[in-house]
Structure 1
Amino acid sequence: MLNSLKLELEQRKANGLLRQRRLLDSPQAEHIVANQKPYLSFCSNDYLGLANRPELIAVMQKAAGDSGVGSGASNLITGHHRYHDTLEKQLASFVEMPAALLFSTGYMANIGVLGALTGRGDAIFADKLNHACLNDGGYFSYADFHRYPHNDVAALEKLLKASTAKHKLIAADAVFSMDGDIAPIPEYLALCEKYDAYLYLDDAHGFGVLGAHGQGSLNHFNIKSPRIIVMATLGKAAGVAGAFVAGEQVVIDYLIQKAKSYVYSTPAPPALSATLSASVHLIEQGDDLRANLFALIAYLKANLKLKKWKLLESDTAIQPLVIGGNEESLAVSEYLQAQGILVPAIRPPTVPAGTARLRISLSAAHTLDDVKQLVAAIHQAESVL
C-alpha cells in the first residue's frame, strides 16, 4: 500500500496537481507572513477582515477565562454551553429563520443534514459544481443522488418531474466557491413548490457579505419559505470558526436527534461561540465594510484588462481568473508570489479539467492600493508568461 501511495503522489506531482501547505507566521489578514516572508494576500475567505479584529480577540480571551478552553462532552451530554445556546438563537434571529443549530464545521453540517433528512427511497438533486462536502453528504445519505448542469433550472426540473422519490431535496451552493456566481434561488424555490421538494442551501460565501446587513443570500433575493434550510459557515465572513444550520423548528429538533455529525461529536469550545456572538454584531453593523468590499470588486472588474486569460463573471468577493492549464496556472501564481502577492492556483479536481485558475479573494480589509498592485502584477504576468 505504501508503494502505491508513493506512486500516486509522484503522478500527481507530474500532472501539476500536488498540493502543498504554506506555514503562516502571522494572524490571518490582508498582509501576512507565510513561510517567513511578507506577502499581500488574496487567498483568504475573511471577507470582512474580522479574523484579527482586536475586539473579537478580547472577547475570546475573556470567554476562555469564563468557560475554559474545551467543551468536554458531546452536545447531548454536558457539552452544550450557554454561549452555544445564545449564539444559536442570535443566528436564527439574524437570518430570520425560526431556529438554528451549531456544527463544528461546514463539512460536518452538510454531511449531518443530508444524512439525517434523506435516505433510501429519497432523492437529492445537486448542482455539478457544488462543494465536495455537499457531494459527500449526498453519497453518504443512501438517497438517490442526481447531479444537474451548473445552475441549469430546466435540467433540474426534468429530473424533479421524473422522480418518484418519497422526499425530494435540492442541494446547492448559494455562492459557488470557485466561480463566485450566485445560484438561481428564486427559480429553485418555485420548483420546490411545484414538485413538493425542499431546498438546502450552502451559504458559506454569502453569509455576512450579501443581503441587507450581511444576512445572506436568501435576504439578497428577499426570499422566505418553510421549504428552505440554509447552512452558513462561521470561519469566512464571520472571521472565527464553525457553521450553523437554520430552518423550521421541527427541522432543527429532528437534526438534534438524527444528525450523526452533531450527535456523536464534541462541540467547538464555548469561547468560540461567545466570540461569534460579537462577530455577528459586527457583521450586522458592517455596512461600511461591505461597501468598501464591493467598491474593490467593481474596481478589479473594471480595470483588469486581459488578452489570454479570462476573469469569470462574478459580483461577489470571489473573482476567478481562468488560466486553463495546470502548469500555467501554477506558473502565474508563482510569478505573483515572486512579486510579493499571494493568489492561489486552483486545479482539478476542485475545478473541471482545462479550467485551472487563480482564485482571487477580496476582503474589506484590502485597500484600493492593494487591488491596484494586484491588477498591475497580473497585467505584467500576462505579458511575460
Structure 2
Amino acid sequence: MDIFEKCYADDYIKEMIRNGQYPYFLPLSENEGNVASYKGKKLIMCGSNNYLGLTTHPKVREAAIEAIRKYGTSCTGSRYLNGSIELHETLEHEIADFVGKKAALVFSTGMQVNLGTISALIGRGDYAVLDKDSHASIYDGVKLSYGKLERFSHNDMDHLERVLQSIPEDAGKMIIVDGLFSMEGDLAPLDLLVPIAKRYGARLMVDDAHGIGVTGGGHGTSAQFGLTDEVDLIMSTFSKSFASLGGFIAGDTDVVQYIKHHARSMIFSASIQPASTAAALAALRIMVAEPEWNAKLIHNGEKMRKGFRDLGFNIGNSVTPIIPILIGDNDKTFEMAQGLFENGVFVNSVISPATPPGRQLLRTSYMATHTEEQLDQVLDTFKVVGKKVGLI
C-alpha cells in the first residue's frame, strides 16, 4: 500500500474547498489587533488570542525592533549551548515573579513547553492524569514520555477521584489541566482539584496559555482561585496576551532546573529569538504597570456574554472573554461563519475532532481594544445571521 494513498482521498476538506466554504488558512493582508483585512475586506476580528491587544502597542513594537538592533534576528543555537542571552534570563526572572513562582524557563514555542516539560517529568511507571478536554500539546507531551495516560471527564471531580483510586498508590502521578479552556471559555475548578491532588499525592500542572493576562487580574487562573502556592507548575505561552511567540514553565527552582536539563524540545531547538523575547518582556511590563488593559478585557467579555445570552445563543459555561456559540452541526457551523464573514465579522469554526461530535461551535474571543461600537456591531450581525441560519 502507498503511504500517500490517504493524501489523495476525496475528503470533506476538498469538498469544502470546491464549494468555497473552507474557512481555514485565510491569508490576512492586515491584522491590526481588533480589525483584520482579507482581500481588501475589513473584518472585526473576533477570533484572535490577542486578548489584551498588545500586538499593536508602541512599547511592544519598539522593544522588538531594538532587540533586533542589539542582538540580530536569531540566537543561532539552543539555550543549552550558545543560544542564551541576558534578555532570556531577565524575562524568566520577571515572569516567575509575576506568576508567583521561584523560577521560570522560557521555550521557543508554547507547544515545546508542554512537549518538553511533560516528557521530562513523566517517566516509566508514572501516570499523567488529564482532563479530557486538555490541549493537544498536553496529550502529545504524554505520548513522548514513557509514562501512562489516564483521563477524566471534563471538570468532573468525582470521575477524577475514581481515576486516581485506580492508580497504584506508590506510582508517581501528575494531574494536568488547562486553567482556562480555549474552546468553551470555562475554568478548571482548582478550588476542588487542589485538595484531591493532595489527598492522592499527585502533583498539579496548570496549562494557563489562555489564562495569563485574562484571569486573576492577569496573573492567571491559579491567582484567580488564590491557589498559586498550591499549584506545582504553571505553563503559558507568549503567543496570546504576551503579543509574541514562545512560552514558559514556572515552578520550584529544583524542578525548573531539572526540566532545563532534560526537556528535549528546548535542548535540541534554537532558542527564542531576541525580538520575540523583548516583545514578551515589554508586554509583561505593561501588564504589571497598566492593569486597566485587563479590566477593559473583563468588561468586554461580560458585555458579550450578556449580549449573546439575551439574543438566545447557547454559550455554554463560559465565564471569560472566550465565548463559544454552540451549534452542534458541521454544516450550520460553516454556514453561520460564512454569513458572519460576509457581513464583516471574523470568527473561528470549530468542528470534530477539535471538539466532540455534537459540540461543534463558533469560537469567538474578545480583546481589551475592542470598542463599544465594534462589539455592538458584532452582536447586531450575529442577530441577523443567526436568524437567517435558524439558530435563534
TM bin (shorter chain): over 0.9
Instruction: Answer yes or no: is 1:202 the counterpart of 2:203.
Output: no
Contact 2:177 2:207 in 1 (8 A): yes
Instruction: Answer yes or no: is 1:185 the counterpart of 2:187.
Output: no
Q: Cα distance 1:28–1:130, how it changes in 2: closer, same or farther (>3 A)?
A: farther
Q: Cα distance 1:343–1:11, how it changes in 2: closer, same or farther (>3 A)?
A: closer
Contact 1:27 1:52 in 2 (8 A): no
Q: Which residue of structure 1 lines up, in the alignment, with residue 347 of structure 2?
A: 343
Q: Which residue of structure 2 lines up, in the alignment, with residue 10 of structure 1?
A: 11
* Structure-to-structure mapping, 1:95-174, within 5 angstroms: 95-164=99-168, 166-174=171-179
Distance in 2, matches of 1:216 and 1:309, equals 28
Query: Any idea what the Cα deviations from partners look like across 1:238-264, whole Å, max 9, x if unmatched?
Result: 111110000000111101111110111
Instruction: Answer yes or no: is 1:223 the counterpart of 2:224.
Output: no
Instruction: Answer yes or no: is 1:175 the counterpart of 2:183.
Output: no
Contact 1:22 1:35 in 2 (8 A): no
Q: Which residue of structure 1 lines up, in the alignment, with residue 275 of structure 2?
A: 271
When the two structures are superposed, what TM-score results if normalisation uses the length of structure 1? 0.95
Q: Which amino acid aligns with 2:4?
A: L
Distance in 1, matches of 2:214 and 2:239, equals 13
- Give the SS at the match of 1:225: helix
Distance in 2, matches of 1:216 and 1:302, equals 23
Distance in 1, matches of 2:185 and 2:32, equals 21
* Structure-to-structure mapping, 1:1-385, within 5 angstroms: 1-7=3-9, 10-14=11-15, 20-164=24-168, 166-212=171-217, 214-225=218-229, 228-305=232-309, 309-385=313-389
Q: Cα distance 1:18–1:127, how it changes in 2: closer, same or farther (>3 A)?
A: farther
Contact 1:336 1:342 in 2 (8 A): yes
- Give the SS at the match of 1:56: helix
Q: Give, in angstroms, the shift of residue 28 of structure 1.
A: 4.0
Query: Any idea what the Cα deviations from partners look like across 1:293-333, whole Å, max 9, x if unmatched?
Result: 22222222222246774112212110000111111100000
When the two structures are superposed, what TM-score results if normalisation uses the length of structure 2? 0.94
Q: Which amino acid aligns with 1:194?
A: R
Q: Cα distance 1:374–1:27, how it changes in 2: closer, same or farther (>3 A)?
A: closer
- Give the SS at the match of 1:51: helix
Query: Any idea what the Cα deviations from partners look like across 1:207-247, whole Å, max 9, x if unmatched?
Result: 011113x1111111111336510101111011111100000
Q: Cα distance 1:226–1:297, how it changes in 2: closer, same or farther (>3 A)?
A: closer
- Give the SS at the match of 2:56: coil
Contact 1:199 1:228 in 2 (8 A): yes
Q: Which amino acid aligns with 1:91?
A: I
The Cα RMSD (Å) is 1.8
Identity score, percent: 30
Contact 2:130 2:177 in 1 (8 A): yes
Contact 1:15 1:326 in 2 (8 A): no
- Give the SS at the match of 1:78: coil
Contact 1:192 1:227 in 2 (8 A): no
Contact 1:47 1:362 in 2 (8 A): yes
Q: Give, in angstroms, the shift of residue 186 of structure 1.
A: 2.1
Structure 2: stretches of 5+ with no match in the other structure: none
Moved more, 229-238 or 16-25: 16-25
